[in-house]
Chains A and B, each alone.
Chain A
Amino acid sequence: MATQAITRRKLNEHEQKISKNGLTFHEDILANGHAGLQTNGRVQFSEEKTRAEPVKSRSKESFERIPFITAVLTHLGFYILMFLGFINQLLFTPKVAQEYNREGYAPLYENFDTFYLRYVYRRVRDCWNRPICSVPGATVTLKDRITKDYGWTFQFTGTTSECINLGSYNYLGFAEANGKCADQSIETLKKFGCANCSSRLELGNMPIHEELEQLTARFLGVEDAIVFGMGFATNALNLPSLVSKGCLVLSDEKNHASLILGLRLSGATVRVFKHNNVKHLEKCLKTAIVFGQSGTGEPWKKIVIIVEGVYSMEGSIVHLPEILQLKKKYKAYLYLDEAHSTGALGEHGRGVCDYYKIDPREVDILMGTFTKSFGSAGGYIAGTKTLINHLRIHSHAHTYAAAMSPPIAQQIITSMKIISGEDGTDDGKRRTKQLARNTRYFRRRLNQIGVIIYGNEDSPVVPMLVYLFSKIGAVVRTLTTYNIAAVGVGFPATPLMEGRIRFCLSAAHTKQQLDYVLLHIERLADSLGLRYSRKIRDPMPIEYYSDGETE
């Protein structure tokens, strides 16, 4: 027994040497004095090293390391931006609203926050909060606006422009103004009105909610489910009734703000493990169980691991099989947030469990939202009957917040029936397949262009790294001039060095649309210098249908 453990530890040490962030790590390949190359799957590696990483789920994932020069330039660029902002602040008075009648009060905002907002964020403010005036489908109509004072204020020009939509979370293309979903929602709206003005525990409960809950449970393959009117609130208002003081929560470092807020409200102890890093998670679990609560050393009441299915900023898919093994080994519980994966992943569109062919009942708490794949709003929690009954009594949202609006619920019911094929058509199957094809094609083409993209080959969220703060603005603006709507994300939402452009693919996109987008990305990559990747590029033209057909 003891010797076995020692060998395992040696193995661990060995693995730690060759792996970082759960990825295969190559001996540094020194190229022109740059830092080494970190990748997997794409480049051939020797026999020994593959043995250390036997599990399939990681082989499709890639997090290429930032080139050293780029890292230096990014830092430099950011400091120049800050410095210019500082000079700007000294010379010009800001054109913003001031607080009046509040002399002698302590200032409401931190100095740095206001500085950052006014002199750094303001320069790229036009890249966010763009108003739209149409369905956020495969294309979206933006209301054009201009700024005459460098981002302090915006004016509408009265014109609109139709853009290819790579910004909305419309994975399965259910954001539609016509068709079955919209028609049935309108019927429900006529029958039950917009809202019922009460919480579920008081008068808010309607047959349509119960129908939706049963359907969700059936769709996910678990015993029961409960639904809420807002996805964010599903996390923020239910975690406090699941964990409490004396419980330990191991949370992935890239978890969404709603999970972090929920944990803060719950009072449980939170420890963060490295993104998708199973080794680090195991270490944390072991330490937690062996040493118990900090201070007293008492054992923890329970340990809950919180992960997301698809990470919205990283594009990675959770390493579910390994985490499930750990969970069983260390008797922990697993909370899986499928906000971006439900509907969008797996052969039948049923999320991460479907993707890995795992029985969903093995996950203790399944959470997801209806905003993304279902083109509606709200969220659910699914699991065993005992779990859901507990939430029906103790959930903050169920007790105090307004119940879900009937037409919103109807949209989910209709779209979920289409995805699962319960409506008798193969429309759902077609959509999931189309999304998978689009994803593969788009990601492979980007790799071929030579830009760095993060995450798993099968994830419909595609973050393209541009690193420099000013490049985020440049890329988003240039793409808009070519009628392409994409999202830029920078500090503080991402680490300082990792500014990125995020593309969200949809089943509604056609190959022509994607080709058009890729053409302009390629031109941009040349003009702005985005070809950071040093992976070996596939010289062969990439076929659109090849993967979908074979699998």
Chain B
Amino acid sequence: MSTKFLFIEPMNILSIIPQYHILLEAFLIMWLTWFISKRYYSRDRMLTEDQVEKKLAEWNPEPLINNPQMNHISLNPRRIMSRAEKNAIAAIRKYGVGSCGPRGFYGTVDVHLELEERLANYTDTEEAVVYSYGFSTISSAIAAYCKRRDLVFVDEQVNFAIQKGLDASKTNIIYFKHNDANDLQNLLVKQAKIDEQNPKKATKIKRFLIIEGIYMNTGNICPLPELVALCRQYKLRIFIDESISFGTLGKYGKGITEHFGVPKQEIDMIMGSLDWAMGSIGGFCVGTSFIIEHQRLSGLGYCFSASLPPLLTTAAITSLDIMKNNPQIFKSLRDNCIAINEGLQNIHCLECSSFPESPVKHVYLKNKKDRAAEEQLLSKISNRCIENNLAIITPVYLEAEKNLPRPSLRLCISTLLNKSDIDFAVNVLKKCAEEVLSV
């Protein structure tokens, strides 16, 4: 009796529960079995051992390196020469050469804190953070804020470090035309229309604008006041790469904001390099504590890399002192830049559209040709100049660039040049260019 009862009990349940329920469950079970078996069988078991062996034998990878190409090496002197060697020697005697650790793990030397404080003071910001490599500063800083769902508006001619920072962040990038505030406005209006469809989602999207103070690849200056106005209107945070403009633009060399008289509070973060104007190595970011502090745990190049060697930190501090105490060097640099610019306008076979006060100038051929021909002619001019004791180079770009810049000759102007140097440079360039192009 009891056995029978036990046996019948489940059958009764079957008749009680509704039919569709059984169907649904049967379907679910079937689907689950199919799913699991698919995972198991489709992988190892569909292939016999022979087939696996065969596949393994057939596997023929590409060689590690594909055919190497030839390239050329050129010469190029940069701006303010450092007079910081004495202090750097004292730093070696006190701290040794390397710092032997990342900032978190006993790699924070007191000179790092001093440099950060001085940079913040010099740029009139709340806080600064120092990295050990200029390139990594910019790519780490961008990737620390821009995340996958964010929206970043970027000038199409930004330098490679910014491009890599954006790649690392995997964020949504919208490029606008080089230095064209109107194009940016059009894009922002377009985006505003998209946002109207889903306003709730739109309020959660962080928006950024990333530009350079003076563009490394063109020598142009960004129209900062217009861009800042747009940022305020459309609620974009603005990051500026001042690798070139810091220490060169403005009355006290404080960069693009000083040049245009834009208040520092309008800018969310300024990134810069210690490599060029400061005559040391490394990079820094300045801004409000709210923004900068975040990098101390989220900036990959800050957390996971050994800190800047103390001797280079001391050199940067000394350069900063020189810049603070001798504002006349910025005036003489500006005069030099303008003098070179005037000289370049007199060379008729070349054109230079770079900003007159920019210490980086790109000189293009007046008659447009195809890329290879331009490159060849320019490198001929460069070689001829070097033979005549003038070091001018054609900048090297990788093919991985987003928009490969037009081939050019790049001039970097130093405050140390005097009038006869400038005349000499312009005359040699003119002579060499005419010789090469008249052939």
B65 proximal to A (CB < 8 A): yes
Cβ contact of B92, chosen from A182, A202, A300, cutoff 8 A: A182
B309 CB contacts on chain A under 8 angstroms: 376-377, 405, 408
Known: A189-B311, A487-B106. A229 touches B64 (CB 8 A): no
Interface centre among B95, B145, B276 (most CB of A within 10 A): B95
Q: Is the CB of B93 within 8 A of A178?
A: yes
Interface readout for B153-175 with A: 1 if CB under 8 Å, 0 if not?
00000011100100110100000
A376 CB contacts on chain B under 8 angstroms: 97-98, 309
Q: Is the CB of A374 within 8 A of B94?
A: no
Known: A104-B235, A289-B56, A401-B135. A201 touches B288 (CB 8 A): no
A390 closest partner in B (C-beta): B65
Compute how far the CA of A208 lies from the CA of B315 in the bound complex, rounded to whole angstroms: 20
B47 proximal to A (CB < 8 A): yes
Q: Is the CB of B75 within 8 A of A97?
A: no
Q: Is the CB of B106 within 8 A of A133?
A: no
Instruction: Return A382 CB to nearest CB of chain B, in Å.
Output: 14
B47 CB contacts on chain A under 8 angstroms: 290
A174 CB contacts on chain B under 8 angstroms: 98
B58 closest partner in A (C-beta): A299
B128 proximal to A (CB < 8 A): no
Compute how far the CA of A222 lies from the CA of B106 in the bound complex, rounded to whole angstroms: 34
Taking CB atoms and an 8 Å cut-off, the chain A residues in 356-397 that contact chain B are 364-365, 369-372, 374-377, 386-387, 389-390, 392-394, 396-397
Q: Is the CB of A193 within 8 A of B82?
A: yes
B185 proximal to A (CB < 8 A): no
- Return the 5 tightest CB-CB contacts between A and B, nearest first: A232-B305, A97-B289, A230-B133, A401-B135, A197-B78
Q: Is the CB of A194 within 8 A of B279?
A: yes
B123 CB contacts on chain A under 8 angstroms: none
B54 closest partner in A (C-beta): A290
Which residues of A come within 8 Å of B, CB atoms?
A: 1-2, 5-6, 9, 96-102, 104-109, 117, 121, 128-137, 140, 142-143, 165, 167-170, 174-178, 181-182, 185-186, 189-190, 193-195, 197-199, 201-203, 205, 229-233, 236-237, 240-242, 256-258, 261, 264-265, 286-287, 289-291, 299-303, 330-333, 364-365, 369-372, 374-377, 386-387, 389-390, 392-394, 396-397, 399-402, 405, 407-408, 411, 485, 487
B199 CB contacts on chain A under 8 angstroms: none
Instruction: Return B72 CB to nearest CB of chain A, in Å.
Output: 9
A185 closest partner in B (C-beta): B97
Cβ contact of A182, chosen from B49, B96, B237, B395, cutoff 8 A: B96
Cβ contact of B393, chosen from A203, A229, A240, A375, cutoff 8 A: A203
B279 CB contacts on chain A under 8 angstroms: 193-195, 197
B76 CB contacts on chain A under 8 angstroms: 198, 202-203
Cβ contact of A175, chosen from B96, B207, B393, cutoff 8 A: B96
Known: A197-B78, A236-B136, A286-B52. A106 touches B203 (CB 8 A): yes
Interface centre among B75, B88, B139, B279 (most CB of A within 10 A): B88
B391 proximal to A (CB < 8 A): yes
Interface centre among A100, A399, A402 (most CB of B within 10 A): A402
B85 proximal to A (CB < 8 A): yes
B50 proximal to A (CB < 8 A): yes
Instruction: Return A173 CB to nearest CB of chain B, in Å.
Output: 10
Compute how far the CA of A376 lies from the CA of B126 in the bound complex, rounded to whole angstroms: 31
Contacts A/B (CB < 8 Å), 29 sampled: A2-B49, A96-B290, A99-B290, A135-B94, A168-B105, A175-B96, A176-B96, A177-B96, A182-B93, A194-B84, A199-B396, A203-B393, A232-B132, A232-B304, A236-B139, A237-B164, A264-B168, A289-B56, A290-B56, A301-B61, A333-B61, A377-B132, A377-B309, A393-B69, A393-B71, A399-B397, A401-B135, A411-B98, A487-B104
Q: Is the CB of B74 within 8 A of A98?
A: no
B124 proximal to A (CB < 8 A): no
Compute how far the CA of A392 lies from the CA of B265 in the bound complex, rounded to whole angstroms: 42
Cβ contact of A230, chosen from B60, B78, B132, B291, cutoff 8 A: B132
Known: A117-B297, A287-B43. A189 touches B49 (CB 8 A): no
Q: Is the CB of A302 within 8 A of B64?
A: yes
B161 CB contacts on chain A under 8 angstroms: 400
Instruction: Return B379 CB to nearest CB of chain A, in Å.
Output: 13
Instruction: Return A243 CB to nearest CB of chain B, in Å.
Output: 9
Q: Is the CB of A399 within 8 A of B396?
A: yes
Q: Is the CB of A129 within 8 A of B296?
A: yes
A243 closest partner in B (C-beta): B64
Compute how far the CA of A467 lies from the CA of B33 in the bound complex, rounded to whole angstroms: 40
A377 CB contacts on chain B under 8 angstroms: 97-99, 132, 306, 308-309
Cβ contact of A396, chosen from B56, B77, B126, B160, cutoff 8 A: B160
B354 proximal to A (CB < 8 A): no
Instruction: Return B147 CB to nearest CB of chain A, in Å.
Output: 8
Q: Is the CB of A205 within 8 A of B73?
A: yes
Instruction: Return B228 CB to nearest CB of chain A, in Å.
Output: 12
Interface centre among A134, A189, A194, A299 (most CB of B within 10 A): A194
B275 proximal to A (CB < 8 A): yes
B56 CB contacts on chain A under 8 angstroms: 286, 289-290, 330
B104 CB contacts on chain A under 8 angstroms: 128-129, 487
B293 CB contacts on chain A under 8 angstroms: 96-97
Known: A401-B134, A407-B92. A2 touches B50 (CB 8 A): yes
Interface centre among A190, A199, A299, A401 (most CB of B within 10 A): A401
B43 CB contacts on chain A under 8 angstroms: 287, 291
B62 proximal to A (CB < 8 A): yes
Given A302-B61, A377-B308, A387-B65, 16 additional A-B pairs, CB 8 A: A134-B94, A134-B95, A177-B96, A190-B85, A195-B315, A199-B396, A203-B74, A233-B305, A290-B47, A376-B98, A377-B306, A399-B160, A400-B398, A405-B309, A408-B98, A487-B104
A230 CB contacts on chain B under 8 angstroms: 132-133, 136, 301, 305-306
Instruction: Return A447 CB to nearest CB of chain B, in Å.
Output: 24
B348 proximal to A (CB < 8 A): no
Q: Is the CB of B60 within 8 A of A331?
A: yes
Q: Is the CB of B85 within 8 A of A193?
A: yes
Known: A193-B82, A233-B136. A143 touches B61 (CB 8 A): no
Q: Is the CB of B126 within 8 A of A97?
A: yes
Q: Is the CB of A229 within 8 A of B89?
A: no
A303 CB contacts on chain B under 8 angstroms: 61
Compute how far the CA of A402 lies from the CA of B305 in the bound complex, rounded to whole angstroms: 16
Taking CB atoms and an 8 Å cut-off, the chain B residues in 192-219 that contact chain A are 203-207
Interface centre among B49, B133, B276, B400 (most CB of A within 10 A): B133
Known: A133-B110, A400-B160. A375 touches B100 (CB 8 A): yes
Taking CB atoms and an 8 Å cut-off, the chain B residues in 29-50 that contact chain A are 43, 47-50
Instruction: Return B368 CB to nearest CB of chain A, in Å.
Output: 25
B170 CB contacts on chain A under 8 angstroms: 264
Compute how far the CA of A189 lies from the CA of B306 in the bound complex, rounded to whole angstroms: 21
B322 proximal to A (CB < 8 A): no
Known: A195-B280, A286-B56, A396-B164. A137 touches B108 (CB 8 A): no
B103 proximal to A (CB < 8 A): yes
Interface centre among B49, B52, B135, B395 (most CB of A within 10 A): B135
Q: Is the CB of B167 within 8 A of A177?
A: no
Known: A129-B296, A401-B133. A106 touches B205 (CB 8 A): yes
Known: A168-B101, A485-B106. A302 touches B136 (CB 8 A): no
Q: Is the CB of B393 within 8 A of A202?
A: yes
B301 CB contacts on chain A under 8 angstroms: 230, 232-233, 236
Compute how far the CA of A500 lies from the CA of B68 in the bound complex, rounded to whole angstroms: 46
B312 proximal to A (CB < 8 A): yes
Instruction: Return A525 CB to nearest CB of chain B, in Å.
Output: 22
Q: Is the CB of A108 within 8 A of B145?
A: yes
B437 proximal to A (CB < 8 A): no
